[in-house]
Amino acid sequence: MTDYSLDLNEDQLQMQKWVHDFAENVIRPVAPEYDEKEETPWEVIQEAANIGLYSWEALSSWFSDPTGLTFALVSEELAWGCAGIGLSILGTTLGVSGIVGSGTPEQIAEWVPECFGTPEDIHLAAFAVSEPDAGSDVSNLRTRAGYDEATDEWVLNGTKTWITNGGIDKVPNVHVVVASVEPELKGRGQASFVVPPGTKGLSMGQKFKKMGIRASHTAEVVLDEVRVPGRCLLGGKEKLDARMARAREGKSSRVQAAMSTFEASRPLVGAQALGIARAAYEYSLDYAKERKAFGRSIIENQGIAFKLADMKMELDAARLLVHRACWMGANGKEFTAGEGSMSKLKAGEVAVWATEQAIQILGGYGYVREYPVEKWHRDSKIYTIFEGTSEIQRLVIARAISGIRIP
């Protein structure tokens, strides 16, 4: 007898099935329509809220799985349905992660439920870090936060870009904004702020038209003299002042802690990429068995069968990396080799590669919009770009395994 097992437990299997059924019956039927319309799928978010799938209670139950796998399973199933719609449901968790990552227990208790609202009053959240001149290089943010002692308020000014759910004002929307308090201290002079729904001065700039994940809203967020109460500084002023004082004196920072937070969230993004890759693999396997050419099924050609064998192998390898990193994150293991980055890098690249193989297997049918495969390829590409590009993931891994600060 051994304790080691790669089997999912009953709770995980039940959750996986519940979300899979939602993806199959609610998401998939409307996925092509939202891909064309490029609009937020409010009806799907509403349905997800009605059944409790879009709620802070669901999120906290996924996080309370001691193996760390449940949230990855949910993410994979939603993206299997449609990555754009899946991200419209999961986008709020980006804002939540900003609050949980930096907030005090009181701030987490106040703001996390506010990010979801209720089925009768749906809310959203967004996490705004990236700027036109600072995507991978987030130490150079230009958005400024100044403290107004007289009113105990923070004043935010700047422009954020590529923000998922950014600037939507159809429903109450909690923005978590990362801004620079002391620019010369780079990353250590930055802080995260909650901008409550309806705050004056925050508005949506350009909404982007995208190659893929088109149901997910991506836009600029403009901050013009945005005033938020002092209590909206996540972690509190005392902690920020102490951190900046240490940085000014050249004392070491808790980079390892920040790194662990990113390493723990990356596999969940990788899990979404797995969902797309699996959708493409399943569809092209069925197609290859049915499609006839030269009097036989195309899968009877090794050229096609081996593609499918490789797709299955790469998909399973990527999933093992994703699940390992989720388990490490949930069990407080140190990511000594960039295991979180590995999982997102591998899953993102497998999704791009596998969806391209699927197009090839379908031939001309793979290239037209009547079939879902070309959409999956378009959807997959973002997974080598956002939440850290593939190059940045390789940088994290290389630094971790070498101990050298490779530039």
Instruction: Please report the DSSP string for 160-224 in residue order.
Output: EEEEETTT--SS-EEEEEEEESSGGGGGGGEEEEEE-TT-TTEEEEEEPP-SS-TTS-EEEEEEE
* Least Cβ distance, residue 128 to ligand FAD (angstroms): 6
- HEC sequence for 213-239: CCCCCEEEEEEEEEEEEHHHECCCHHH
Q: Which is nearer to ligand FAD, 40 or 218 (CB)?
A: 218
Residue pointed to by tokens 């990527």: 318
Separation CA 374–CA 24 (nearest Å): 19
Q: Which is nearer to ligand FAD, 186 or 324 (CB)?
A: 186
* Least Cβ distance, residue 135 to ligand FAD (angstroms): 2
Active site residue 110: no
Q: Which is nearer to ligand FAD, 137 or 169 (CB)?
A: 137
Q: Which is nearer to ligand FAD, 273 or 285 (CB)?
A: 273
* Least Cβ distance, residue 265 to ligand FAD (angstroms): 12
Separation CA 292–CA 300 (nearest Å): 10
* Least Cβ distance, residue 137 to ligand FAD (angstroms): 6
Buried-exposed string 323-332: b where 16+ CB fall within 10 A, e elsewhere: bbbbbbbbee
Q: Who's near 38: CB < 8 A, 6+ residues apart?
A: 209, 210, 214, 215
Q: Which is nearer to ligand FAD, 348 or 366 (CB)?
A: 348
Q: Which tokens hold the place of 32?
A: 């092509």
Q: Which is nearer to ligand FAD, 16 or 130 (CB)?
A: 130
Query: What's the distance, Cα to Cα, between the start and end of the chain in Å?
Result: 48
DSSP summary character for residue 134: B
* Least Cβ distance, residue 339 to ligand FAD (angstroms): 20
Name which of 115, 101, 103 is nearest 164 in CA terms: 115
Q: Which is nearer to ligand FAD, 216 or 284 (CB)?
A: 216
Catalytic residue among 225, 374, 387, 391: 387
Helix (H) or strand (E) holding 132: none
* Least Cβ distance, residue 382 to ligand FAD (angstroms): 5
Q: Which tokens hold the place of 379?
A: 């959807």
* Least Cβ distance, residue 213 to ligand FAD (angstroms): 6
Residue pointed to by tokens 């090839």: 360
Pairing outcome for strands 190-195 and 173-180: antiparallel
Name which of 335, 333, 342, 217 is nearest 269 in CA terms: 342
Distance of CA 104 to the CA centre of its chain: 23
Residues found near ligand FAD in the complex (CB under 6 A): 94, 127-130, 135-137, 162-164, 210, 218, 382, 385-387, 389, 391-392, 395
Q: Which tokens hold the place of 299?
A: 């899968």
Catalytic center residues: 387
